[in-house]
Amino acid sequence: MDYERYAALKKDLEVYFAEIIMKRFRNYVEEHTELHFAPDFLSHELISDLLSVDGFSVYGMNVNMDGFEVLLDFHHDYMAIQNFLFTRVSVDFRNDGNYTVYLSEKSFNTDWSVHFHDEFARYTRISETEFQRLLDDVKNIHIKRVLKMSR
């Protein structure tokens, strides 16, 4: 499969999870008026708690003058998918130079994005059909996790 097709298919999954992550953050803001996080233990735990229902935990955070990146690990449900090729998920926020992120009700239209990483370019070794099945499996695992956790 060529990179352009891979990127187009992967973008659909990134948008799907961006909406889910945004919803989790937005729900927190509705309850607490704002969400503030920095590269510290408390923020690490807070974000992990917010996203655990969706099968993610915080691996780490990268911060520089222009951006704030939260790296997420997949829970075992996702790792059990045959030919699973993503290593991490990154949630990137534009940074104003303060090395922290403040999200309020007005913050969800600003620049931030979600990226699924395939650090070893494993997409080159699978067909488009297999990749599409993998993407469908990821979404199905997510739906099952959410339904199981909501019981």
pLDDT at 99: 80
103 pairs with which residues across the strands?
A: 35
More confident residue, 20 or 102: 20
pLDDT at 11: 95
- Global pTM value: 0.87
pLDDT at 17: 94
Interval 9-64: pLDDT, tens: 999 999 999 999 999 999 999 999 888 888 999 999 999 999 999 999 999 999 88
